[in-house]
């Protein structure tokens, strides 16, 4: 056998190895909720569901912050808009029960409009100034939701909206367990698959955008806005598009969240949530889709894992020395500081970011 | 090709350009010379649609393009090489060139043009996968030129291409500019290095505190005692 055909063989095995890897990944993702249910309990399946929602949110924010370099501290507002759009039109609040197949895209679209609405007045702002305005925007949305129960009761104020319809079509609902071919599928498992599909869609769109004319224009704006303009990039529209695209993912995720929880209130959409999503993007690796997914999953799962810290202390030390809730924030802060010191470009940065930090 | 009348640029209350008129004919190289702060860069930025004009009109190819945004002007074939080069330092040389062709959608033509740039600037070909920020000043200027050419401009606006470069590199850049002009691109050149600029041009304008004070053939300007005293250090 000569060297040439040996090389061909190698690439062939590499390709089939890659295919096998993908097949394994798909299989793993299908089995995951059932395995987790059996090993760790149903609560953890729920946590995985939430992690998928945050994956979508983090990928949405990644478009604004990671690609276009526009620091947005009020991103959770779009999550809230999507959630309330779904909740108001699929709950006893107004007695309206639209089907989710209409509501989810509509919620995403409404969130996109809000994205453009936030983008328009902030076109000339950058960095710290933009961060402050977006922060204010996030707070305005939350406070509005909190107070729009008077004079006309739109949002039911701080009590929030209850009895939101689950994802359902006709008599079939994901709100209760059901059985397919003799296998009983619990509600959290069913939601897992819906969220997984949506997350995969968001990942696919993100990757496609990154490698497009629009994606390159976003990166050019991030690097040097004036030069980007000189290249003939319509910076105004491209920036608005970044805000709208990011908000779309946030709105979609919000609608799914409302259907999943069955209850939402303004409390779920605070500044701390915005910062948490931003941390997912930064910790994972700004502008790099696999990194952002990793960041979202890690930062959703780790705080939950730390809940075990309380019982463990009791078991080993006799009593609880540090409250688990305090420990979470303590470790989270420590982790962020260590990250910034040792992996400033994120856990799994993109090639460009790696280059940026090495030059 | 370019006809400017009464152009004024103001930043807040400060008038950087106070109503100037000049023209550039098809195929010419025209120099706009003057000291620091004379308003040369503001003039170019305004022409390229990066800062709004406070007054005046700009006609390009017989079309009134006053107030056109930069993306329309680039599409019309006007490209600016900004002062200080304005390359995307953290993107590769190849990515920089791709962004230069942003307004075009002919994939095959773009690929061919990129190869043409690599042939014109072999140094860039060697460094195509390298971060643009790691290039030397001269190489960055070459990249800025190549990137502007990627949009297939008919009018090239050059802002201080000699800035911060070693004399030998300046010679090289100016040779390149001459060959770009020879390929049929009209050039408006803003320079502080008046001697070098006027030696290459057909005509020149002298700018002083926001106004054009002199205009003539380049040779006449080079011989003008006023210009010699003020800009050629004699």
Number of compact structural domains in chain B: 1
CA distance B83 to B102: 20
Are the Cβ atoms of B133 and A359 closer than 8 angstroms?
yes
- Residues of chain A contacting B48 with CB distance shorter than 8 Å: 230
- Supply the pLDDT for residue B234: 66
On whether any CB of chain B is under 8 Å from the CB of A224, the answer is yes
Ramachandran sector of residue B161 (left: φ over 0; alpha: ψ -120 to 50; beta: rest): alpha
**What is the DSSP secondary-structure string of A7-68?**
HHHHHHHHHHHHHHHHHHHHHHHHHHHHHHHHHH-HHHHHHHHHHHHHHHHHHHHIIIIIIS
For each of chain B's 234 residues, which pLDDT tens digit applies?
999 999 999 998 889 999 999 999 999 999 999 888 889 999 999 999 999 999 999 999 989 999 999 999 999 999 999 988 889 998 999 999 999 999 988 889 999 999 999 999 999 999 999 999 999 999 999 999 999 999 999 999 999 999 889 999 999 999 999 999 999 999 999 998 888 899 999 999 999 989 999 999 989 998 888 888 887 776
Nearest residue of chain A to residue B81 (CA atoms) = A230
Q: Do A217 and B86 touch (CB under 8 A)?
A: no
Please answer yes or no on whether B102 and A217 come within 8 Å at the CB atom: yes
The pLDDT assigned to B228 comes to 87
Q: What is the pLDDT of residue B36?
A: 85
For B24, B56, B89, the CA distances from B4, given in Å and listed in that order, are: 9, 8, 33
Which pLDDT score is estimated for A328?
A: 79
CB contact under 8 A, A223 and B90: yes
CB contact under 8 A, A230 and B50: yes
**B71 contacts in A (CB within 8 Å)?**
229, 232-234
Q: Report pLDDT for A358.
A: 59
Q: From the list B48, B91, B134, which residue is nearest A230 (CB)?
A: B48
The reported pLDDT for the residue numbered A354 is 66
Q: Given CB atoms, is A317 within the 8 Å cutoff of chain B? A: no
Give the pair of three-digit tokens for residue A239: 């920036």
Which pLDDT score is estimated for A352?
66
Contact A232 B70 (CB under 8 A): yes
* CATH number of the domain where residue B97 is located: 3.40.50.300
Contact A230 B103 (CB under 8 A): no
Look up the domain containing B78 and give its range. 2-231
**End-to-end Cα, chain B, rounded Å:** 35
* Closest by Cα among B120, B135, B42, B35 to B85: B135
Q: Map out the domains of chain A as residue ranges.
A: 39-271
pLDDT at position A11: 72
- pLDDT recorded at residue A331: 83
Considering only alpha carbons, which residue of chain A is nearest residue B74? Answer: A232
CA R_g for chain A: 22
Taking contacts as CB-CB distances below 8 angstroms, the residues of chain B near A219 are 91
Q: Which chain B residues contact residue A229 at CB under 8 A?
A: 49-50, 70-71
Whole-prediction pTM:
0.89
**pLDDT for the residue numbered A146:** 95
Question: Please, which residues 233-262 of chain A have a Cβ atom closer than 8 Å to chain B?
Answer: 233-234
CA–CA gap between residue A73 and residue A14 (Å, rounded) = 43
Q: Is A227 on the interface with B (CB under 8 A)?
A: yes
Chain A residues inside the 8 Å CB shell of B86: 224, 226-227, 230
Separation CA A242–CA A222 (nearest Å): 11
pLDDT confidence of residue A307: 80
Residues of chain A with pLDDT under 70: 1-4, 7, 352-359
């Amino acid at each position: 056998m000569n060297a040439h055909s040996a090389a061909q063989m190698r690439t062939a095995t590499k390709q089939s190895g890659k295919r096998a890897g993908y097949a394994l990944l798909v299989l793993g993702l299908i089995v995951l909720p059932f395995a987790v249910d059996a090993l760790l309990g149903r609560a953890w399946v729920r946590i995985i569901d939430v992690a998928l929602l945050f994956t979508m949110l983090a990928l949405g924010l990644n478009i604004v912050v990671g690609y276009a370099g526009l620091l947005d501290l009020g991103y959770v507002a779009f999550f809230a808009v999507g959630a309330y759009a779904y909740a108001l039109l699929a709950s006893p609040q107004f007695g309206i029960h639209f089907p989710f197949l209409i509501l989810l895209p509509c919620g995403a679209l409404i969130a996109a409009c809000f994205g453009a609405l936030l983008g328009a007045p902030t076109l000339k702002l950058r960095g710290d100034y933009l961060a402050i305005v977006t922060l204010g925007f996030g707070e305005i949305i939350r406070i509005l939701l909190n107070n729009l129960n008077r004079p006309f009761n739109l949002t039911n104020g701080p009590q929030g909206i209850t009895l939101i319809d689950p994802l359902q079509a006709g008599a079939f609902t994901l709100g209760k367990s059901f059985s397919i071919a003799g296998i009983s599928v619990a509600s959290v498992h069913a939601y897992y698959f819906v969220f997984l599909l949506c997350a995969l869609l968001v990942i696919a769109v993100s990757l496609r955008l990154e490698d497009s004319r629009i994606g390159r224009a976003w990166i050019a704006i991030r690097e040097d806005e004036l030069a980007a303009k000189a290249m003939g990039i319509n910076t105004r529209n491209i920036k608005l598009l970044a805000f709208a695209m990011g908000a779309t993912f946030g709105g979609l995720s919000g609608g799914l969240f409302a259907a999943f929880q069955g209850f939402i209130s303004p409390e779920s959409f605070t500044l701390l949530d915005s910062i948490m999503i931003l941390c997912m993007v930064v910790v994972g690796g700004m502008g790099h889709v696999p990194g952002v997914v990793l960041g979202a999953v890690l930062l959703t799962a780790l705080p939950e894992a730390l809940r075990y810290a309380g019982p463990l202390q009791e078991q080993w030390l006799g009593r609880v020395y540090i409250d688990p809730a305090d420990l979470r924030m303590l470790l989270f802060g420590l982790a962020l500081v260590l990250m910034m010191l040792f992996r400033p470009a994120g856990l799994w940065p993109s090639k460009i970011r790696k280059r940026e930090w090495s030059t | 090709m370019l006809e400017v009348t009464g152009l004024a640029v103001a930043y807040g209350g400060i008038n950087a350009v106070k109503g100037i008129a000049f023209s550039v004919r098809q195929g010419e190289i025209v120099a706009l010379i003057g000291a620091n702060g004379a308003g040369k860069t503001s003039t170019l930025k305004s022409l390229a649609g990066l800062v709004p004009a406070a007054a005046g009109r700009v006609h390009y190819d017989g079309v009134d393009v006053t107030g056109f945004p930069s993306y329309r002007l680039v599409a019309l074939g006007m490209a600016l090489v900004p002062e200080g080069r304005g390359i995307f330092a953290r993107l590769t040389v190849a990515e920089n060139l791709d962004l230069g062709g942003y307004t075009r959608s002919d994939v095959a033509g773009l690929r061919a043009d990129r190869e043409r740039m690599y042939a014109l600037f072999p140094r860039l070909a060697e460094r195509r996968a390298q971060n643009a920020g790691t290039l030397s000043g001269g190489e960055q200027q070459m990249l800025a030129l190549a990137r502007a050419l990627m949009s297939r401009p008919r009018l090239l606006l050059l802002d201080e291409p000699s800035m911060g470069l070693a004399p030998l590199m300046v010679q090289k850049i100016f040779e390149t500019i001459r060959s770009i002009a020879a390929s049929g691109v009209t050039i408006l050149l803003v320079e502080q290095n008046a001697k070098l600029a006027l030696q290459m041009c057909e005509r020149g304008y002298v700018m002083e505190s926001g106004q054009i004070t002199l205009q003539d053939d380049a040779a006449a300007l080079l011989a003008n005692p006023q210009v010699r005293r003020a800009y050629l250090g004699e």
